Amino acid sequence: MSIEYISDKELFHIKTKNSSYIFRLRKGYELEHLYYGERINDTRGIEFLSDDNFLGATLHAIDSEFTEEKLSTDRMLREYPFYGSVDLRCPAFHAEYRDGSRVTKMKYLGHKIFSGKPELDGLPSVYAKSDEAQTLEITMADSFTGLNLIYRYSAFEELDVITRSVTAVNTGNSEITLDKIMSCSVDFDNSDFDFVHLHGEAWRECEIERKPLVNGEVRISSARGASSHLHSPFFALANKNTTEFEGEVFAFSLVYSGNFELGAEVDSLKNTRAYMGINSFDFKWLLESGQSFTTPEAVMVHSSNGFGEMSRTFHNLYRNNLARGKYQNAVRPILINNWEATYFDFNEEKILNLASKAKELGIELLVLDDGWFGKRNDDTLSLGDWYTNTDKLPEGIASLAKKVTEIGIKFGLWFEPEMVSPNSELYRKHPDWCIHIEVREKSLGRNQLVLDLSRKEVCDYIVSSVSDILSCGNISYIKWDMNRNFTEIGSSALPPKRQSEVAHRYILGLYNVLERIKTAFPDVLMEGCASGGGRFDAGMMYYFNQFWTSDNTDAIDRLKIQYGTSMVMPSMFMGAHVSAVPNHQTGRTIPLETRGLCAMCGQFGYELDITQISDDEADEIKNQIELYKNIREVIQFGDLYRLKSPFDGEKTFFEFVSKDKARVCLFYFTHSCAVQCNTEKIKLKGLKPDSAYKCNKQIYSAEFLERFGFDTENLQDNSGKVYLFEIQ
Known catalytic residues are 481, 551
Nearest residue to ligand GLA on Cβ basis: 370
Contact criterion met (CB below 8 Å) for 693 and 685:
no
By C-beta, is 252 or 548 nearer to ligand GLA?
Answer: 548
For residue 53, give the 3-state DSSP assignment. coil
Contact criterion met (CB below 8 Å) for 491 and 505:
yes
Contact criterion met (CB below 8 Å) for 550 and 532:
yes
Contact criterion met (CB below 8 Å) for 669 and 723:
no
How near is the Cβ of 531 to ligand GLA at its closest, in Å? Answer: 5
By C-beta, is 157 or 527 nearer to ligand GLA?
Answer: 527
How near is the Cβ of 549 to ligand GLA at its closest, in Å? Answer: 10
What is the DSSP-derived secondary structure letter of residue 220? Answer: E
Contact criterion met (CB below 8 Å) for 306 and 242:
yes
How near is the Cβ of 414 to ligand GLA at its closest, in Å? Answer: 6
Residues that bind ligand GLA (CB under 6 A): 339, 369-370, 414, 481, 483, 529, 531-532, 548, 551
How far CA 8 is from CA of 25, 50, 113, 174, in Å, comes to: 11, 17, 17, 38
How near is the Cβ of 548 to ligand GLA at its closest, in Å? Answer: 5
By C-beta, is 132 or 481 nearer to ligand GLA?
Answer: 481
Contact criterion met (CB below 8 Å) for 167 and 294:
yes
Distance CA 339, CA 421 (A): 20
By C-beta, is 244 or 369 nearer to ligand GLA?
Answer: 369
How far CA 561 is from CA of 268, 358, 424, 519, in Å, comes to: 37, 27, 35, 32
- Radius of gyration of the CA atoms of the chain, in A: 27
Q: How many CB atoms lie within 10 A of CB 57?
A: 9
How near is the Cβ of 609 to ligand GLA at its closest, in Å? Answer: 15
Contact criterion met (CB below 8 Å) for 55 and 62:
yes
Contact criterion met (CB below 8 Å) for 338 and 414:
no
By C-beta, is 148 or 338 nearer to ligand GLA?
Answer: 338
Beta strands in 621-691 (DSSP E): 639-644, 651-657, 663-670, 676-677, 681-682
How near is the Cβ of 524 to ligand GLA at its closest, in Å? Answer: 17
Contact criterion met (CB below 8 Å) for 409 and 337:
no
How near is the Cβ of 350 to ligand GLA at its closest, in Å? Answer: 16
Contact criterion met (CB below 8 Å) for 29 and 63:
no
Distance CA 572, CA 583 (A): 24
Distance CA 318, CA 333 (A): 20
By C-beta, is 343 or 704 nearer to ligand GLA?
Answer: 343
By C-beta, is 230 or 266 nearer to ligand GLA?
Answer: 230
Nearest to 479 by CA among 607, 611, 629, 583: 607
Residues facing 339 on adjacent strands = none
How near is the Cβ of 395 to ligand GLA at its closest, in Å? Answer: 23
By C-beta, is 380 or 467 nearer to ligand GLA?
Answer: 380
Distance CA 273, CA 36 (A): 12
Strand 574-579 to strand 603-607: parallel, antiparallel, or no bridges (unpaired)? parallel
DSSP result, 684-722: --SPPTT-EEEETTEEEEHHHHHHT-EEPPPEETT-EEE
By C-beta, is 303 or 338 nearer to ligand GLA?
Answer: 338
Give buried/exposed letters for 470-495 (b at 16+ CB in 10 A, else e).
Answer: bebebbbbbbbbbbbbbbbbbbebbe
By C-beta, is 229 or 560 nearer to ligand GLA?
Answer: 229
How many Cα atoms sit within 13 Å of 183 on the Cβ side? 30
How near is the Cβ of 536 to ligand GLA at its closest, in Å? Answer: 11
How near is the Cβ of 227 to ligand GLA at its closest, in Å? Answer: 15
How near is the Cβ of 677 to ligand GLA at its closest, in Å? Answer: 32
By C-beta, is 242 or 337 nearer to ligand GLA?
Answer: 337
How near is the Cβ of 271 to ligand GLA at its closest, in Å? Answer: 43
By C-beta, is 295 or 421 nearer to ligand GLA?
Answer: 421
Distance CA 171, CA 648 (A): 55
For residue 626, give the 3-state DSSP assignment. helix
Beta strands in 260-402 (DSSP E): 260-266, 272-278, 285-287, 292-294, 297-303, 335-337, 365-368
Distance CA 382, CA 611 (A): 29
How near is the Cβ of 654 to ligand GLA at its closest, in Å? Answer: 23
Contact criterion met (CB below 8 Å) for 111 and 101:
no
Phi, psi of 618 (to 5 degrees): -60, -40
By C-beta, is 365 or 643 nearer to ligand GLA?
Answer: 365
Strand 161-170 to strand 297-303: parallel, antiparallel, or no bridges (unpaired)? antiparallel
For residue 469, give the 3-state DSSP assignment. helix
